[in-house]
A and B are shown apart, each in its own frame.
Chain A
Amino acid sequence: MKRRSLLRRAGALPLSGKIGLALVGFWILAAILGPLVAPYPPGAFVSEEVFAGSTSQFWFGSDFLGRDVLSRLLVGARLTMGLSAIAVAIAVALGTGLALTAAVGPRWLDELLSRAMDTLISIPSKIFALVLVAAFGSSVLLLTLIVAITYVPGNFRIARSLAVGLARLDYVEVARARGEGRIHIALVEMLPNMIRPLCADIGLRFVFIVLLLSGLSFLGLGLQPPEADLGALVRENVSGLAEGALAIMAPAVAIASLTVGVNLLIDAATQGNVK
């Protein structure tokens, strides 16, 4: 029943939404199955030639050290998607949790949290990441946390405005008049009605996080070799740019298609065509 309604929802999407869904679906599959279907180990030097073009042996050619680009791309996609997903989950859990606290809590707490978030949002995200990476060194855990914290204030603002709007509705008033506690009001009365708009926000933040992670990697502050996400793949092959090598085009196109796909899907799904 659930699956059928999901299929019907997908069928009701406009064309742009279907394209987005296909792109996102492709990248999710790639992230899950990628390392299993990758033709070579990602770190193996398999080609004699660097920056080779597409051949039947190496579909996307070889990179600056003669490694298979397709294999590295598949592994990189998993890292990018996985880290972004974890970071977005942390960001949304923190942001929405604090937003609900602010909405049902006393007024001073709301003020305190809101001003703290305003402070955080005023720090440029890349500089913030640069400073922290410089101070603590780059690690997967630190990267994920930095990126997550960077996107907490944005989610907080959206979730708080949703929650404050809901808090004035009659069903929340009724629960309050009944004597319900704040936790019940936040989690049972308000949260389920915020899911839809929050989903759109989650999608957007996911895209930002992919871009920020890729950007950091491109600057050399992200994942360190031998590990490589999509951004790192672009950076390490940047010397092939002049030759128009597939090794740099492929990960760039991957980032673009993933972010564009998510955006198309969100736009279509939030336009009210899917109900």
Chain B
Amino acid sequence: MADAHVEVRDLCVTVRGPDGAPLRIVDDISFDVARGQMLALIGESGSGKTTIALSLMGHGRGGAAISGDIRVGDATLDGVGARSLAAQRGHRITYVAQSAAAAFNPSRRVIDQVIEPALIHRTASPATARQRAVELFRALALPNPETIGSRYPHELSGGQLQRLMAAMALITKPDLVIFDEPTTALDVTTQVEVLQAFRRVVREQGATGVYVSHDLAVVAQMADHILVLNRGRVREQNDVRTILEAPTDDYTKTLMAAAHPVVAVAAPAARAPEPLLAIHGIFAGYGPVDKAGRPANPVLSDVSLTIGRGAAVGVIGESGSGKSTVARVVAGLLAPTAGQVTLDGEALAQTVSGRTREQLRRVQIVFQNADVALNPAHNVGDILGRVLRFYHGVSGAEAGRRVAQLLDLIRLPAGVADRRCGELSGGQKQRVNLARALAAEPDVILCDEVTSALDTVVRGAILDLLADLRRELGLAYLFISHDIATVKALCDDIVVLYKGTRVESGRCESYSTAPFHPYTDLLISSVPEMRTDWLADESFRNSAPFAGMNEQPALCRFLPRCPVAISGRCDTIAPPLQSMAAGNIILCHRTEEELAR
């Protein structure tokens, strides 16, 4: 490529390893990006993708040594003065980080932060910078582009902040924009809007881009070329279509397969298993409870579900839907203000302190983030041994034997027992996290986003493990996730929560074809597909007739976002529960025929 805007040759990044020896985390990478093109760096965590992206700005994280040749425009890695990469940072080369919420200064108005790069690098006067910022806000489809800038970061949503951060990156009309997992922390429905905005603005500005992601389907919408990385090495490098349609490298194939998890073992889907755990009409929330028994921040309203013995029930919803609160109520960590949890027909006390040890043993909870769910001060053997001693009174050599058995059950070598959790990989930690629940020999495990923090390949392995355990031990799961593909792969029944209300529930199969609740429909259609033409250019969501309306607890909670809301009905009375022919129950005014369309 003669007109390559970015040229990287033999890039190596070396850090000092834990034992003091030099460790090469990026090994001999070469690539070009033509002007106006978008290159995607894709790989799991630890593949070196962010390190490469940062080295394009001449930046190495603490103690990292960069070698090789990097040229961006007329600036080079070893250039002097204005022709070095570091001098171009924030001006000709800009960066959009993963968590915009953490990247904005909470005490300053966003407009001041968005135009800051232009002022620092003196590319525009404050007035013209503001004008350009408003243009960018409009191009990024932000609401009220004229006035949104005068708000503070905490007044804006994660998706809006991410778009504002892109505006900040584009304000200096850069030659190269680096997007580092910009949508990973967002809900799937928000991700679509942000991706649409990014793609439009990048095309309009004709900017050259590098897009870092672990998600092939997202990248397929954004990039022209893809570089597949694994452990700091290039596995495959080609244009998007070729990679998606005819991947040659085994690792790329693994990545593609893992993106759409299919649990290999057929789950023993008993049609009507005897009910094991049931939740009836739960209301719960946080903050002080008023006289009428309503908490200051109500989260769940009237949620019911039943888990049969050995069954898996999935709960999906976006952040703020109250799905984790369901698990906390069931585990007795949060007392519901109304409603009841029953185990084998026997009512459980509202909180842990009122339950018997036997009841506690039968219901175990596993949290999302194994990094904070496992005590860093103890080794794996102690963590598992404590549960054995607590519930089964087992200690000494017998406990050691049981720990080894548990580790075998989760497919980890017995030697792990002596290691601290900090020495384990993310996938291993999540297995230990599961093993701790298994040590209690429970009847039901509450899995709160247990696969969300994991890479796609590791996620697939954990899902397989969960399915195996269910078959071998007859476990039941309450599986909470924001990812409908994961839930579909593992569960028999699925409940969809929206703002703490159950909008749809039914068998897994009924989520394959319409009719859906409009929100379920939105969730399903928002999951990126592995083809380049999936992302529509126009937002299909601008059509909600009640978009400006505030939510009202007495009406359908989804009303402000619903594209099929009926004027005069949805905005006046609460929606009824309707049973569909496929067996799923939907909370909506629309009839089955209307929803099926």
Listed in ascending order, the chain A residues whose CB lies under 8 Å from chain B are 169-171, 173-174, 176-180, 188-189, 192-193
Question: Is B373 an interface position by the 8 A CB rule?
Answer: yes
Q: Is the CB of A179 within 8 A of B355?
A: yes
Q: Is the CB of A177 within 8 A of B333?
A: yes
Question: Is B465 an interface position by the 8 A CB rule?
Answer: no
* Contact of A178 (CB < 8 Å), options: B360, B373, B376, B377: B360
From B18, which residue of chain A is reached at the shortest CB distance?
A275
Of all A-B residue pairs in the complex, the 7 with the closest CB atoms, nearest first, are A192-B377, A170-B373, A170-B367, A179-B360, A171-B375, A177-B331, A170-B372
Q: Is the CB of B376 within 8 A of A193?
A: yes
* Chain A nearest CB, measured from B375 CB (Å): 4
- On chain B, the residues within 8 Å of A179 by CB distance are 352, 355, 357, 360, 390
* Contact of A173 (CB < 8 Å), options: B333, B355, B386: B333
* Chain B nearest CB, measured from A130 CB (Å): 42
Given A177-B331, A178-B387: A171 touches B373 (CB 8 Å cut-off): yes
Question: Is B332 an interface position by the 8 A CB rule?
Answer: yes
Q: Is the CB of B390 within 8 A of A170?
A: no
From B371, which residue of chain A is reached at the shortest CB distance?
A170
20 contacts between A and B (CB under 8 A): A169-B372, A170-B367, A170-B372, A171-B373, A173-B367, A174-B373, A176-B333, A177-B333, A177-B352, A177-B360, A178-B360, A178-B387, A178-B391, A178-B440, A179-B355, A179-B357, A180-B390, A188-B386, A193-B376, A193-B377
Question: Is B378 an interface position by the 8 A CB rule?
Answer: yes
A179 vs B354: C-alpha distance in the bound complex, in angstroms? 10
- On chain A, the residues within 8 Å of B391 by CB distance are 178
* Chain B nearest CB, measured from A163 CB (Å): 14
Question: Is B365 an interface position by the 8 A CB rule?
Answer: yes
Q: Is the CB of B360 within 8 A of A174?
A: no
* Chain B nearest CB, measured from A104 CB (Å): 13
- On chain B, the residues within 8 Å of A178 by CB distance are 360, 387, 390-391, 440
- On chain B, the residues within 8 Å of A193 by CB distance are 375-377
Q: Is the CB of B436 within 8 A of A174?
A: yes
Residue of A176, A178, A180, A188 contacting most chain B CB atoms (<10 Å): A178
Question: Is B374 an interface position by the 8 A CB rule?
Answer: yes
- Chain B 330-370, CB-CB to A under 8 Å as 1, else 0, gives 01110000000000000000001001010010001101110
A171 vs B372: C-alpha distance in the bound complex, in angstroms? 6
Q: Is the CB of A174 within 8 A of B440?
A: no
Q: Is the CB of A171 within 8 A of B374?
A: yes
* Contact of A174 (CB < 8 Å), options: B357, B367, B376: B367
From A171, which residue of chain B is reached at the shortest CB distance?
B375
A47 vs B367: C-alpha distance in the bound complex, in angstroms? 74
Given A179-B352, A179-B360: A174 touches B377 (CB 8 Å cut-off): no
A178 vs B365: C-alpha distance in the bound complex, in angstroms? 9
* Chain A nearest CB, measured from B453 CB (Å): 12
- On chain B, the residues within 8 Å of A169 by CB distance are 372
- On chain A, the residues within 8 Å of B372 by CB distance are 169-171
* Chain A nearest CB, measured from B385 CB (Å): 12
From B358, which residue of chain A is reached at the shortest CB distance?
A179
- On chain A, the residues within 8 Å of B360 by CB distance are 177-179
From B382, which residue of chain A is reached at the shortest CB distance?
A188
A170 vs B374: C-alpha distance in the bound complex, in angstroms? 8
A169 vs B372: C-alpha distance in the bound complex, in angstroms? 6
A179 vs B365: C-alpha distance in the bound complex, in angstroms? 12
- On chain A, the residues within 8 Å of B376 by CB distance are 193
* Chain A nearest CB, measured from B454 CB (Å): 16
A240 vs B401: C-alpha distance in the bound complex, in angstroms? 73
A177 vs B366: C-alpha distance in the bound complex, in angstroms? 10
- On chain B, the residues within 8 Å of A188 by CB distance are 378, 386
A182 vs B374: C-alpha distance in the bound complex, in angstroms? 18
From A180, which residue of chain B is reached at the shortest CB distance?
B390
Q: Is the CB of B378 within 8 A of A192?
A: yes
A253 vs B374: C-alpha distance in the bound complex, in angstroms? 47
Contacts A169-B372, A176-B333 known; list 13 others, CB within 8 Å: A170-B367, A170-B368, A171-B374, A173-B365, A174-B367, A174-B373, A177-B331, A177-B332, A178-B391, A179-B360, A180-B390, A188-B378, A189-B375
A169 vs B390: C-alpha distance in the bound complex, in angstroms? 21
- On chain A, the residues within 8 Å of B367 by CB distance are 170, 173-174
B268-309 residues with Cβ-Cβ distance < 8 A to A are: none
* Chain A nearest CB, measured from B429 CB (Å): 11
- On chain A, the residues within 8 Å of B332 by CB distance are 177
From B327, which residue of chain A is reached at the shortest CB distance?
A177
- On chain A, the residues within 8 Å of B333 by CB distance are 173, 176-177
- On chain B, the residues within 8 Å of A174 by CB distance are 365, 367, 373, 436
A171 vs B380: C-alpha distance in the bound complex, in angstroms? 13
Given A179-B360, A193-B376, A193-B377: A170 touches B369 (CB 8 Å cut-off): yes
- On chain A, the residues within 8 Å of B387 by CB distance are 178
A192 vs B378: C-alpha distance in the bound complex, in angstroms? 9
- On chain A, the residues within 8 Å of B386 by CB distance are 188
From A195, which residue of chain B is reached at the shortest CB distance?
B377
- On chain B, the residues within 8 Å of A177 by CB distance are 331-333, 352, 360, 364-365
From A193, which residue of chain B is reached at the shortest CB distance?
B377
A173 vs B378: C-alpha distance in the bound complex, in angstroms? 16
- On chain B, the residues within 8 Å of A171 by CB distance are 372-375
* Chain A nearest CB, measured from B123 CB (Å): 37
A121 vs B231: C-alpha distance in the bound complex, in angstroms? 54
* Chain B nearest CB, measured from A184 CB (Å): 8
Q: Is the CB of B375 within 8 A of A176?
A: no
- On chain B, the residues within 8 Å of A173 by CB distance are 333, 365, 367
From A12, which residue of chain B is reached at the shortest CB distance?
B20
A171 vs B383: C-alpha distance in the bound complex, in angstroms? 10
* Chain A nearest CB, measured from B482 CB (Å): 18
* Chain B nearest CB, measured from A177 CB (Å): 5
From B373, which residue of chain A is reached at the shortest CB distance?
A170
- On chain A, the residues within 8 Å of B390 by CB distance are 178-180
A169 vs B373: C-alpha distance in the bound complex, in angstroms? 7
Residue of B357, B365, B375, B378 contacting most chain A CB atoms (<10 Å): B375
B384-403 residues with Cβ-Cβ distance < 8 A to A are: 386-387, 390-391
- Chain B 418-444, CB-CB to A under 8 Å as 1, else 0, gives 000000000000000000100010000
* Chain A nearest CB, measured from B16 CB (Å): 11
- On chain A, the residues within 8 Å of B365 by CB distance are 173-174, 177
A95 vs B352: C-alpha distance in the bound complex, in angstroms? 29
A170 vs B383: C-alpha distance in the bound complex, in angstroms? 14
A170 vs B365: C-alpha distance in the bound complex, in angstroms? 10
A188 vs B352: C-alpha distance in the bound complex, in angstroms? 19
A174 vs B421: C-alpha distance in the bound complex, in angstroms? 16
